[in-house]
Structure 1
Amino acid sequence: MPHDDIGAGRAPRAGTARPVDRVLDTLRRDAVTALGGVLSGFWSSIEEQVRLAALAGHDYMAAQEDRMAVLDLSHRALELATRFRTSIETEFDQWAADRPPPPAAAGLSLMSEGELEVQLAAQQIIELMDHQFLHPLAALDERLDVLAARLGLEGPRANPLRPEVPVMAFVRLFQADDLPPGLRSMVFHQFDKRLPAILSEVYAKANATLEAAAISAPASQGAERGAARAPAAGATSVPRRGAESWTPDGGVVEHTEQAGSGSSRPSAGTAYGPLSSGLMDVLAAHGDALGGAPATAGQRGYRDLVREQLHQWRERRDAGAHDDDPGSADGTGGPVLSMSQLLNVARMMQGDDPSPYARVLIGDDRRQLGDVIRDELLRGLRELGVDPEQTPLRREDEDAIDLIGILFQSLFDANDLLTQARDIYSRLVVPYLKVALTDDSMFNQRGHPARKLLDAVTEACDGNSGETAQDRDLLDHAGRVVDRVVDEYESDQAVFRLAASELRERLDQQRRRAEVAERRAAEAIHGRERLQQARRSVNDIVASRLTDRPLTAAVAFFLDRHWRHYLTQTWLRDGPDSPRHVAAIGVGDAMIQVDADAAHALGSAVADELLALQAPLAECYSSCGMDANAARDAVARIIAALAMPDTSRTVHAPQTPDDMEDEPQDATLRLVTGDTPAFEPTIAARMRQLRVGQGLRLIDENGRESAARVAWISPLTARLLIVNRRGIRKMVVSPEELAALVSAGRVVVRAVDAPFDEAMKHLWQQLNAANDATMATAAG
């Protein structure tokens, strides 16, 4: 590199700007101007949404809170816009610096509920934008690397136009109390709607500016960069054992997977969801193997990508059992069943007995749920006089059937769903089939009403055995809203929206009760741990006084019973280092000295010491629950024993209370061997890094998974309280015990997604397995 270019990242003197400097200035100016447009008219639009929401809602106080908050933000609109633009300019300054600042350390810290929701919303938008603009970003990265080299800048530099920059600049505009919960969702939804169009314009213009300046990268570098930006599908953020460094997936943030993973979380109005994002990754990394170049993958339709994967999955599943007729499958070789005919049959099936689907879900029928749905449809067609051999299903309809089948089976496999849940889910199969046949956006729009209902139903049923009145009421309520959907759904998806809203309201009520129950459980565990710690400490003190020291039976009994209890009480109430606890220890030491003086016939000293101990002994006996008469009798026995110098003295062994043992081990810890297996120190160290809110997946003896999370961590013993999705205690484990469960495959440390998102991951894994097998066969 020429010496004249070294340090070229500094701002040039006026009149001496080189062409490459002017290119950077143009990029900066265009980006700041365009991205600043995100906030143009932003708050007036939010004000109108708040006004409409207040008219439609019933919570006057919440509406007023939202209204006052948005008015305050509107008054600060100019300040917020200036700060937003400044954040973007700062990113360019850091990129052009001689030595860019090191990336901030990713630490874990406690967050409020509002901060948590803001971080989740920001992370979700970033992930989606990274996927949506995969290829223009890859090209822009390459050209910016070349620009940096021409400016004489060394070392890796983060793209100042990556989606994270405007998103985090937007997040930093708000304090924790600026956005009430209702307003928060409106603000981030509006930002999510505005940002993609502006980013598309920014990337197109930036690439055009760099290309016009003859700044481009070799094609080989571009291919490598594209592969680097799109990791292989199926990659997961679950840490591998033995990795050099490890960060828990989540902490207090429920879902923080890196952009580019195949499990991003979609939002309403976005074009690509978790399934299509994973498909985009595969196409970017293996475009030739799938018959499509990475450069054009982003232009392919969502439905085309899903169909391609489903067709490969179907071929893998059938394993040559039969060959589809390609002509009739795509509708070009003969007549196919019309959508109206298929919906007529589905409408007829909606009120039928759902037990065939229930048997598949619980495993009594080993067939695929999609095959059972298909058989029921064909049976209904024959009853209507339609010959499926002559008018087969369209391939798109076959895809919808298989998607619903895999989705429902995945939901059942990924959650702890019991008998009543089986009946509820089986009744929903046909309504959801109708949705999939007419509107496949359910699979890639997170805000879809049918998706929200399925999330709510799963949360209501997950781990719910109906043991309490509240649990039974929740199950019954879920059953009633599902019955309403089955009875009323024709084509208007408002039925799903109303049902989901009603059930979500009931879930929110139960969540508040669950939070109280979690706090009580944590307080009870914490109280037991403090009691056990106090008893262990006191046991050591008592043992140190009784060991190898001959004492009269009366004094030894006092020390081992009454003094022990008194020490425990002062430890718990005042602390082990408190003056009161230290004074309590002194009472026992004084009694030991009295016993020794009595053994040497020092009568006056014994009398003086007992008089000095009168008040402390009274307090000690009172703490044991003894009244004045019982206390006097106890003191009298001690005095009688000390009055005679020749009273027998022996060494007494201290008693160990039966209740000093830890609480019984949770059933989840009793593995096949009957004992908690040995743990790996590395995994145990990782478990000690977990934080409250960390998601887990628990796997029972039959291989069924259920969602769980860390609800509380003991400050005394570092034990973790694990609860299920509804806040019910599952187990209390030490980091070492949790490491043993991880090693045994009974626990997976992973973020707990919404149930539909989790099912989509399972669905994608099945489809991706077929794709991998197809590519392996082709390569072989």
Structure 2
Amino acid sequence: MSTENKIIHFGSSARGARTGLQERFRRLANERLMALLRHMLDQADDALFERAEKAGSNQEQQLFFEAMREVRRGRRAFEERFLERLEAAHLGEPVARQPGSAADQGDELSLVDDEHLEEELAIDGMVSKAQTRHSQALAHLCERLDADSDTAWATAETNPVDPRRIGAALEEGAAVLEMEIQPRLILYKLFDRYVVTQLGGFYQELNQLFIDAGVLPTIRPKARPSDGGTAVPRRPTQPRRPGSSPGDVSASGSGELSGREAEEAFAVLQNLLAARRPETEWSGTGYTSGGQAAPVGEVLEALSGLQFQAAPETDPDAGNVVPLSPDVLKQRVRQQMGRGDAAALGQAEDDTIDIVSMLFDAVLEDPNLPDSIKAVLARLQIPVLKVALLDRAFFSQRNHPARRLINDIARAGVGWTESDTPAKDPLYQAIERIVTRVLDEFSDDVTVFENAREEFRQFLEDDRARAHQIEERTRQAAEGKAKVDSAREKVDAAMRERIGGRQLPDCAERLLHEGWSQVLFIALLREGEDSEAWRKKLDVVERLVWSLDPKPDHASRKQLVSEIPPLLHDLRTDLNAVMFNPIEMTKLFKALEEEHIKTLSRRPDAAPPVADTTGSQQPEVAGVTGEAEPEETVFSGEALESAGDDLDAYRERLDQVAIGTWFEFRQDSGKHLRAKLSARLSGGDRLIFVNRAGFKLADRRRDELAEALRKESVLLLDDNMLFDKALENVVANLRSMRDAR
């Protein structure tokens, strides 16, 4: 039958070159489908003969021999009727029978001929499988048909190459053959094997036709209207966890995804992944990447077999994790299924393996996670892959049990410091125990992840409770030390301010710094900086310094004579109160008396000596000492000042860091220690860090830590939602690859 003169009209908005593109689309689609049908019919003779050879009786054998002759006799009519229905689909004629209608007739099934019903169910099964497997490609083809026509018309019912149209053409074409149901079903199985399994490459080629013509080269997946049949058929919803319901709230604040929403989310990843997928080539009888794809159940069974075999290999010396690459994993799955052909996996299964492998690559490249923890997490690659195959919502639902378990393990692992014997560490043991439980118990029930997560969270709660008590005592001790250090600094600053540049006699220096500083220190701690007691003690410092200054006139010398007794009284009283050495105090007071005599006898024009402050260094508050303390880099005031405004961004960043954030201290020795910010003291100027057990690991000044952040000798660690970050990285990489292409 000639079809060259048939013209296709998709609506009044079709125009010019676009109509020409649609004609090319029609010709290409019909040529490919007719070639596939002819190849299928070429195999029919051998398939029917083989079946006849296995017949259990002469009557059954004769039935298949007659079917062979009927196929030869009616082949031309079969091909012509098949092509007619394909052309009718392009002209927009409705499908005579909607696939699936027989299965919905309920009580009226008894009125339908059993053989005819069996025939319809066989075709409906092929159609349903193809619609599910190629939902993304079909949706993209509908969008491109709409874009080329400037009107929204293409749906699953109106798309001329939708599987239901192809199934209807098969049903009407095969109707010209007069044969029994057994050979007819064999014919349909051949159609499934040689035509339906090639539809992936077929739809890819048709989409590429529009892409090459500049029609929607890239598509952002979106939901299509559900009326009149959608181009994205609904996939069975994800396995429901006991006690859950569609209204369960996810971590992101939204409810669980429906089957359609989960498929659309997965389609986003598939669309991006298409940039990495090699194009199929037409061989004349099929596509090079075509072939019989294994059912997803068979793939899951093969993965379960691999799950109980050896985990991903690790190098114990280098600590490098070597996860299963997607190519290796696919090959092992095929071997496990007993299939060596590259087409053993369907497109969705193939894409899922690629996506999960990329996710684990991103997880294992995360610098926030220690290598030993990565090695344990890598063993979850196959269980997580099985979850993704069972439940498309895994990629889009933040509160999915498998994702939450991975995030919890990663969050706990961020605070873990590598050691020479990780297997002896309680946290490492707990993580390894949880991962082993998943490997041993998970088959297809996602509650295994929930139960494992609950066990792990219980361990973490007990561990945190123990650490919290120690950390609280550590924090209180640090606060006390900070208060003491701050008081000493204020005492020193107050005395320097009142002494100024004077060079006091040795006895006065010792009285002030060895004795009176203690008086000031206790007054500041007990009474506070705004107290009357603090001001009176400072006044004694001023009075002592004044008493040693030269007196220019008789009145001032007379005043000094009257001031000395109460000054000495105040000094003696408070020094005794702080239990200053009485023998030493007597000596110092005797020397002070001599200095006062010198002051009274000094010439009025004599200038007081001035202290040489060049090269002097102020007392420095040392960091916390201990075996586990990170090596402390000391930054001089000049060095910090020279950094100028460069440190402002790092200071601001430190000010915004939440208590509980983990840091990594990188030492010159090459050892990296991880510590958690436990407290901010002295108005945020001092930061206290503890290890996982709650013991103090470091005490750092804000500016010193800001400088260390700038030099990257200290790093901020991110323990938030490892899996979600990995997924974001995968999507970003796929987008870059798509854009580059």
After TM superposition, the score normalised by the length of structure 2 is 0.51
Report the counterpart of residue 339 of structure 1 in structure 2. 296
Match of 1:432 among 373, 384, 399: 384
Describe how 1:95-106 pairs up with structure 2 within 5 A: none
- Count of residue pairs brought into register by the alignment: 471
**Whole-Å separation in 2 of the counterparts to 1:708 and 1:551:** 46
2:529 aligned partner: 576
1:489/1:741 CA distance change after superposition, 3 Å = same
The offset of 1:503, in angstroms, is 0.8
SS in 2 for 1:491: coil
2:270 to 307, 322, 325: 307
Q: CA deviation at 1:686?
A: 5.5
Preserved CA contact (<8 Å) 1:268 1:448: no
Distance 1:418 1:709, change over 3 A: closer
The residue type paired with residue 399 of structure 1 is: D
Following superposition, the deviation at residue 421 of structure 1 comes to 0.8
Deviations 1:675-726 (A, max 9, x none): 895544874685487374697998989xxx9999976555635566688999
**1:392-411 alignment, distance < 5 Å:** 392-411=344-363
1:757 to 682, 699, 724: 724
Contact 1:722 1:729 in 2 (8 A): yes
Query: Whole-Å Cα distance in 2 between the matches of residues 359 and 454 of structure 1?
Result: 23
Aligned residue in 2 for 1:25? none
- 1-side partners of 2:730 and 2:360: how far apart? 9
* Contact map agreement 1:710 1:723 (CA 8 A) in 2: yes
C-alpha contact (below 8 Å) 1:699/1:706 kept by paired residues: yes
Q: Please give the secondary structure, in 1, of the residue aligned with 2:313.
A: helix
User: What is the CA deviation profile of residues 640-692 of structure 1, one whole-angstrom value per residue up to 9, with x for unaligned ones?
Assistant: 66567799996555896764257599879899xx9895544874685487374
Instruction: Pick one of 536, 558, 565 that aligns with 2:511.
Output: 558
Q: Deviations over 1:14-57 (max 9, x none)?
A: xxxxxxxxxxxxxxxxxxxxxxxxxxxxxxxxxxxxxxxxxxxx
Aligned pair 1:464/2:425, yes or no?
no
Pick aligned residue for 2:575 from 604, 609, 620:
620
**Equivalent position SS for 1:458:** helix
1:187-266 to structure 2, matched below 5 A, reads: 266=252
The question of whether the paired residues in 2 share the 8 Å contact of 1:514 and 1:726 is answered with: yes
Q: 1:562 to 1:499 in 2, by over 3 A?
A: same
Q: Structure 1 residue 765: deviation in Å?
A: 1.6
SS at match of 2:292: coil
- The answer to whether the Cα contact below 8 Å between 2:314 and 2:320 also exists between their aligned partners in 1 is no
Displacement after TM superposition at 1:404 (Å): 1.7
Summarize deviations over 1:434-464 as a string: whole Å, max 9, x none: 2122223222222222122112211221230
Aligned to 1:590: 543
Residues 99-498 of structure 1 mapped to structure 2, 5 A cutoff: 266-267=252-253, 269-271=255-257, 301-312=264-275, 314-315=276-277, 323=279, 333-356=290-313, 369=323, 372-379=325-332, 381-382=334-335, 385-389=338-342, 391-414=343-366, 416-465=368-417, 472-498=425-451
Deviation at 1:408, TM superposition (A): 1.9
- Alpha carbons of structure 1 residues 363 and 694: separation in structure 2 relative to 1, 3 Å: same
Label 1:339 to 1:691 Cα distance change in 2 as closer, same or farther (>3 A). closer
Q: Could you tell me which amino acid in structure 2 is paired with residue 464 of structure 1?
A: W
Between 594-603 and 712-721, the greater mean CA deviation after superposition: 594-603
Residue 668 to residue 557, structure 1, CA distance change in 2 (3 Å)? closer
1:567 aligns with 2:520: yes
Which range moved further: 464-473 or 613-622?
464-473
Q: Give the secondary structure class of the aligned counterpart of 2:580.
A: coil
The CA distance in 2 between the partners of 1:632 and 1:271, in whole Å, is 86
Partner amino acid for 1:502?
E
Q: Which amino acid in 2 is paired with 1:351?
A: F
Change (3 A) 1:465 1:739: closer
User: Using the alignment, how far apart are the partners of 1:773 and 1:670 within structure 2?
Assistant: 47
Residues 730 and 565 of structure 1, relative CA distance in 2, 3 Å threshold: closer
CA contact (8 A) 1:680 1:740 kept: no
Q: TM-score, normalised by structure 1?
A: 0.49
1:309–1:771 contact (8 Å) kept in structure 2: yes
Farther off after superposition, 651-660 or 500-509 = 651-660
The Cα offsets for residues 373-395 of structure 1, whole Å up to 9 and x where unpaired, read as 54145236436643134x42221
Aligned residues of 1:401 and 1:433 also touching (Cα < 8 A): yes
CA distance in 1, matches of 2:329, 2:439: 17
Q: What is the one-letter code of the residue matched to 1:355?
A: P
Letter in 2 for 1:305: V
Q: CA RMSD in A?
A: 5.4
State the shift of 1:335 in Å.
0.9
Shift of 1:738: 4.2
Q: How far did residue 618 of structure 1 move? A: 3.8
CA spacing shift, 1:383–1:687, aligned 2, 3 Å: closer
Moved more, 464-473 or 406-415: 464-473
Give yes or no for contact 1:562–1:620 (8 Å, CA) kept in 2. Answer: yes
Greater shift in the superposed pair: 713-722 or 546-555 = 713-722
Work out the CA distance in 2 between the residues paired with 1:682 and 1:645.
50
**After alignment, is 546-555 or 522-531 more displaced?**
522-531
Q: C-alpha separation between the residues in 2 aligned to 1:330 and 1:267?
A: 44
Cα distance, 1:402 vs. partner? 1.8
* Aligned counterparts of 1:522 and 1:725: Cα–Cα separation in 2: 14
- Rate the CA distance shift 1:407–1:699 in 2: closer, same or farther, 3 A: farther
Deviation of 1:519 after TM superposition, in Å, equals 5.6
| Identity of matched residues, % | 20
Contact 2:654-2:706 within 8 A present in 1 as well: no
Cα 1:733–1:451 shift into 2, 3 Å: farther
Distance 1:584 1:265, change over 3 A: same
Structure 1 distance, partners of 2:402, 2:389, is 13
TM superposition shift of 1:555: 1.8
The one of 678, 690, 697 aligned to 2:656: 690
The answer to whether the Cα contact below 8 Å between 2:370 and 2:416 also exists between their aligned partners in 1 is: yes
Q: Structure 2 CA distance, aligned partners of 1:326 and 1:706?
A: 58
Q: Deviations over 1:609-644 (max 9, x none)?
A: 345533543423554x63555545544554466567
Residue 660 (1) aligns with residue 613 (2): no
| Matched residue SS, 1:501 | helix
Return 5+ residue gaps in structure 1 as ranges.
1-226, 228-263, 277-296, 316-321, 775-780
Unpaired runs of 5+ in structure 2?
1-219, 221-249, 603-607
Provide the C-alpha distance between the structure 2 equivalents of 1:561 and 1:621, rounded to a whole number of angstroms: 13
* Partner SS for 2:310: coil
Q: Output the amino acid matched with 1:660.
A: E
Structure-2 residue corresponding to 1:609: 564
CA distance in 2 between partners of 1:725 and 1:329 (Å): 61
- Structure 2 distance, partners of 1:339, 1:351, is 19
CA distance in 1, matches of 2:281, 2:470: 58
* Paired residue type of 1:403: I
Residues 1:268 and 1:362: Cα distance change in structure 2 (over 3 Å): farther
CA distance in 2, matches of 1:310, 1:361: 32
Distance across 2 between alignment mates of 1:706 and 1:324 = 51
Alpha-carbon contact 1:574-1:580 (below 8 Å) kept: yes
Q: Which amino acid aligns with 2:730?
A: L
